[in-house]
A and B are shown apart, each in its own frame.
Chain A
Amino acid sequence: MSALSGTGSSDKVVAAPRARRNLLRRLDAKLSPYLFISPFFLVFGVFGLFPLGYTAYISLTDRNLLAPVSHFIGLHNYALLLHDSYFWNSVENTFAIWILATVPQLLLALVIAHILNTKLHARTFFRMAILLPQVTSLVAVALIFTQLFAHDYGFVNYVFGKFGVHHIYWESGRVSSWVALSVMVMWRWTGYNALIYLAAMQSIPEELYEAAAVDGARRFRQFIHVTVPMLRPTIIFTVIISTIGGLQLFTEPYLFGQSTSGVTGGSNRQYQTIVMYLYEKFLGSTQFKFGYAAAIAWCLVLLIALFGLVNYFLVSRIRSAES
Chain B
Amino acid sequence: MVAHSQAVPRRRRRSQRAVSRRFDSAGPFTYVFLILVVMVSLFPLYWSLVVASHDNAAVFAYPPKLLPGSNLFHNIHKLFNPDLVSVDFAKALVNSAIVSSVVTVTVVFFSALAGFAFAKLEFRGRKLLFVLVLATLLVPVQLGLIPLYIEMIHFGWLNSIKAVIAPNLVTAFGVFLMRQYIAGGVPNELIAAARVDGCNSWRVFWHVILPAVRPMAAVLGLLTFMNTWNDFLWPLIVLNARNPTVQVAVAGIAAPAYTPDYSLILAGCFISILPLLLVFLLLGRQIVGGIMQGAVKG
Q: Which A residues contact B (CB, under 8 angstroms)?
A: 1-2, 24-25, 28-30, 32-34, 36-37, 39-41, 43-44, 46-48, 50-52, 54-55, 65, 112, 115-121, 123-124, 126-141, 143-145, 147, 153, 155, 158, 187, 191-192, 195-196, 198-200, 202-210, 212-214, 218-219, 222, 230, 233-234, 237, 240-241, 244, 248, 250-251, 275, 278-279, 283, 290, 294, 297, 300-301, 304-305, 308, 320-323
B23 cross-chain contacts in A, Cβ below 8 A: 119
B4 cross-chain contacts in A, Cβ below 8 A: 205, 208, 230, 321, 323
**Dominant secondary structure at the A interface:** helix
Partner of A124, one of B22, B184, B197, B285: B285
B185 CB to nearest A CB, Å: 3
CA distance A129 to B184 in the complex (A): 27
Q: Taking CB as reference atom, which chain A residue is nearest B112? A: A36
Interface residues of B in 171-211 (CB under 8 A from A): 172-173, 175-177, 180-181, 184-185, 196-198, 200-202, 205
Q: Taking CB as reference atom, which chain A residue is nearest B61? A: A153
> Is there contact, CB below 8 Å, between A55 and B144?
yes
User: 5 closest Cβ contacts across the A-B interface?
Assistant: A51-B144, A203-B185, A32-B201, A33-B123, A54-B147
> Is there contact, CB below 8 Å, between A137 and B121?
no
Among B16, B177, B285, chain A packs the most CB atoms within 10 A around the CB of B177
> Is there contact, CB below 8 Å, between A136 and B142?
no
CA distance A137 to B52 in the complex (A): 13
Within 8 Å of chain A (Cβ to Cβ): is B89?
no
A188 CB to nearest B CB, Å: 10
Among A34, A144, A321, chain B packs the most CB atoms within 10 A around the CB of A144
B13 cross-chain contacts in A, Cβ below 8 A: none
Say whether, besides A34-B123, A47-B151, A132 and B20 are in contact (CB < 8 Å). Answer: no
Partner of B290, one of A48, A129, A202: A202
B180 cross-chain contacts in A, Cβ below 8 A: 200, 203, 233-234, 237
Say whether, besides A130-B38, A207-B8, A304-B138, A37 and B269 are in contact (CB < 8 Å). Answer: no
Interface residues of B in 11-25 (CB under 8 A from A): 12, 16-17, 19-25
A-B contact pairs, 13 of them (CB 8 A): A40-B172, A43-B169, A127-B284, A129-B38, A132-B38, A132-B41, A137-B269, A155-B64, A202-B185, A203-B2, A203-B295, A278-B143, A300-B140
> Is there contact, CB below 8 Å, between B22 and A131?
no
> Is there contact, CB below 8 Å, between B146 and A290?
yes
B138 cross-chain contacts in A, Cβ below 8 A: 244, 301, 304-305, 308
> Is there contact, CB below 8 Å, between A115 and B181?
no
Partner of B136, one of A44, A112, A138: A44
Partner of A43, one of B116, B167, B223: B167
B161 CB to nearest A CB, Å: 15
Within 8 Å of chain A (Cβ to Cβ): is B244?
no
Of B42-50, B67-75, B80-88, the one contacting chain A is B42-50
> Is there contact, CB below 8 Å, between A52 and B205?
no
B111 cross-chain contacts in A, Cβ below 8 A: 40
